Amino acid sequence: MSFEPKIVGFLCNWCSYRAADLAGTARIKYPENVRIIRVMCSGRVDPSFVFKALSLGADAVMVAGCHPGECHYLEQNYKAMRRFHILKHTLRAMGLEEDRVRLVWASAAEGQLLAEHIEKFVADVKKLGPLNWGHNWAENGDRLHALEAIVKEHEEAMEVKS
Amino acid sequence: MSEATATSAKTKGKLAIYWAASCGGCEISILAIDEKILDVGNAFDIVMFPCGADGKVRDVEQMPDGAIDVCLFNGGIRTSEQEYMAQLMRRKSKVLVAFGSCASEGCIPGLGNMSDRKQIFDTVYKEGSSTYPVNPKDERPQAETKMPEGTLHLPIFYDTLKTLDQTVDVDYYLPGCPPEAENIWKAIVAILEGKLPPKGSTIGVNTTVCDECKRTRHEKKIKKFHRTWQIIPNEEECLLEQGLLCCGLATRAGCGSLCPQVNSPCIGCHGPNDGVEDFGARLMSAMASVIDSNDPEEIDGIIKDGIPDPVGTFYRFSLAKSLLRRKNKAAIAN
């Protein structure tokens, strides 16, 4: 079976979410891999949202907002931009491919553009393959055996009583 | 402790202090409550304190479950032996306190999560300049060794350091690397007087280091981050405004802003305030907000030049507790 990535998309209420709406009403097709979460502004996206999505099984995360200079809240998408750069810098250090997070701009009129961004992103993530972050936490298989061995050894030692 | 408090504790309680993957600084901090340790001795029998008193694992194992009133547990969980001890102390204690940064969020030992067992062992047993001459056969510790007399066991060293609450159920947290003596004393008094917050709480204030910092503050706009050795900051103004990565704005208060007071930026040892899932993300968010540029390339340059080690900067104390917990194993060169 081919790999269908799970992508979480944080779309801003004023531009990108409306672009997704427009894509829908205009019957513009894009892959269904992106699970869209509407936020009031791309500046609302805390890096922890991205970490949480990745740690819970997402293969990639997209953040989409109004074009620079067109933020409904004046300049919060610039904050999103700076946060995104710092986030990418940290993700690289954590050993993640930087293509697993992407920041795009799409205005309410750009349903077609958003669909193209998503299509491109899904294709790129497919090339990277599954992330499966939870596997990083699996400990060595002999852990339970080691714990049992400690209990057994201590029990045997206990028999020596005064 | 007031005399009323001392006498109100009718029967002597049982106290255990245990350490796992930690440096021993927490023990020193406990002893730094000075002569009040005698009050602790009046109120409690210290049944286990490997660093400071007698008391054997075997004695604890023979106690009924829940026999210990309070266990202050410092250190993260890096080996099977530490995991066993965490389970044992949990079972035998009514109240288990994750004591200090290591037990609460992994702390410096948690930065080992940027490597795995193999890489750490290679560093220690092969590449370390002090180990090579005595390890010519390039040996590594084995969990099991068969000898004529029987099988010998060593604890297993884990790939990933876990916090105490990723291992067993934890009742309270005490922040700090190490917790300050006066905060330890406050926590002990709260325990003795039965005035503890709801289970799962961090015992401490819920505000940031900035609130305790006396430096003057203006609007923060940073064009360049400096590392501590690059500049000598003036003693009046906010350190972050001077370009030093001061973590005070996202870090839990309670230390009296010790580091900024001596002209050194806060490094975040008290961890986050209540309700924060990922301390590093919080810091990243805050630091990004103060960068004074709207140009992607310039922003990238400011970040890469000023923060060469983002994990060591934002997750110095909290990598093990963070949402991702560790570096991608697949990306570790072995």
Tell me how many residue pairs between chain A and chain B have CB atoms under 8 A apart. Answer: 135
| Per-residue pLDDT in tens (0 to 9) along chain B, 334 residues | 455 555 555 578 999 999 999 999 999 999 999 999 999 999 999 999 998 888 889 999 999 999 999 999 999 999 999 999 999 999 999 999 999 999 999 999 999 999 999 999 999 888 887 776 788 888 899 888 999 988 888 899 999 999 999 999 999 999 999 999 999 999 988 988 888 889 999 999 999 999 999 999 999 999 999 999 999 999 999 999 999 999 999 999 999 999 999 999 999 999 999 999 999 999 999 999 999 999 999 999 999 999 999 999 999 999 999 999 999 999 997 6
Tokens representing residue B23 in the block: 């440096």
B176 and B39 within one domain? yes
**SS in 3 state form for chain B?**
CCHHHHHHCCCCEEEEEEECECCCHHHHHHHCCCCHHHHHHHHEEEEECCCCCCCCHHHHHHCCCCCEEEEEEECEEEEHHHHHHHHHHHHHEEEEEEEHHHHHHCHHHHHHHHCCHHHHHHHHHHHCCCCHHHCCCCCCCCCEEEECCEEEECCCEEEEEECHHHCCCCCEEECCCCCCHHHHHHHHHHHHCCCCCCCCCECCCCCEHHHHCCCECCCCCECCCECCCCCCCCCCECCCCCCECCHHHHCECCCCCHHHHCCCCCCCCCCCCCCCCCHHHHHHHHHHHHECCCCHHHHHHHHHHHCCCHHHHHCCCCCCCCCCCCCCHHHCCC
Q: A11, A4, A119: which is closest to A64 by C-alpha?
A: A11
**Cα nearest neighbour of B57 on chain A:** A154
Q: Which residue has the tokens 């946060």?
A: A83
Residues B267, B149 share a domain: no
Number of domains composing chain B: 3
The pLDDT tens digits for B149-199 are 888 888 999 999 999 999 999 999 999 999 999 999 999 889 888 888 899
CA distance A148 to chain B (A): 9
pLDDT digits (tens, 9 = 90+) for A89-101: 999 999 999 999 9
**B104 in any annotated domain:** yes
Query: Could you tell me if B53 and B14 are in contact, meaning their C-beta atoms sit under 8 angstroms apart?
Result: no
pTM: 0.92
Q: Does B202 reside within a domain?
A: no
Does B200 reside within a domain?
no
3-state secondary structure of A47: helix
For the record, the structure tokens of B201 come out as 């709480």
Q: Based on the domain organization, do B228 and B103 belong to the same domain?
A: no
Give a yes or no: residue B271 inside a domain: yes
Report CB contact under 8 Å: A47, B143: no
CATH fold of A7-158: Rossmann fold (3.40.50)
Half-sphere exposure of A52 (CA within 13 A, CB side): 13
CATH of the domain at B99: 3.40.50.700
> Is the same domain home to B179 and B215?
no
Contact A38, A17 (CB under 8 A): yes
Residue A160: pLDDT over 80: no
Q: Is B135 in the same domain as B68?
A: no
Instruction: With CB atoms and an 8 Å threshold, state whether A82 touches B61.
Output: no
Q: How confident is the prediction for chain A on average, in pLDDT?
A: 93
Q: Are residues B264 and B250 in the same domain?
A: yes
Q: Quick one: which of A26, A9, A12 has its CA closest to A106?
A: A12
- Are both B218 and B234 inside the same structural domain? yes
Tokens 């200079």 -> residue: A69
In a domain? residue B278: yes
C-alpha of B94 from chain center: 22
Termini Cα distance of chain B: 54
In a domain? residue B258: yes
Q: Which residues contact B147 (CB under 8 A, 6 or more apart)?
A: none
Distance between B161 CA and the closest CA of chain A, angstroms:
10
Residues B123 and B244 in one domain: no
Boundaries of every domain in chain A: 7-158
Rounded distance, CA B105 to CA B99, Å? 10
Look at A139 and B158 and tell me if their CB atoms are within 8 Å.
yes
- Is B227 a member of any domain? yes
Report the C-alpha gap between B216 and B152 in whole angstroms: 61
- My answer on whether B45 and B129 are in the same domain is no
Residues B43 and B182 in one domain: yes
End-to-end Cα separation, chain A, in angstroms: 65
Retrieve residue B252's tokens: 């839990």
B101 and B228 together in one domain: no
Residues of B numbered 124-163 whose beta carbons fall under 8 angstroms of chain A's beta carbons: which are they?
143-144, 153, 155-156, 158-160
Sign of CA dihedral B45, B65, B20, B202: negative
What whole-number distance in Å separates Cα of residue A162 and Cα of residue B69? 27
Residues in contact with B223: Cβ distance below 8 Å, sequence separation at least 6, in sequence order? B243, B292, B293, B302
Chain B residues in contact with A82 by the CB 8 A cut-off are 288-289, 291, 293, 299
| Tokens (6 digits) for B40 | 């602790």
CB B154 within 8 A of CB B142: yes
Structural contact between residues B96 and B169, judged by C-beta atoms closer than 8 angstroms: yes
- Given CB atoms, is B238 within the 8 Å cutoff of chain A? no
Q: Which two tokens stand for residue B99?
A: 């004591």
Q: Check if the beta carbon of residue B164 is closer than 8 Å to that of residue B98.
A: yes
Output the pLDDT for position B1. 47
Exposure string of B45-54, with b = 16+ CB inside 10 Å and e = fewer, is ebbbbeeeee
pLDDT at B5: 53
Residues B89 and B130 in one domain: no
pLDDT at A3: 94
Distance (Å, rounded) from C-alpha B263 to C-alpha B284?
Answer: 22
Residue B131 lies in a domain: yes
**Domain coverage including residue B129:** 115-156
Look up residue A100 and give its DSSP letter.
Answer: G
Rounded to a whole number, what is the distance in Å from the CA of A64 to chain B's nearest CA?
A: 15
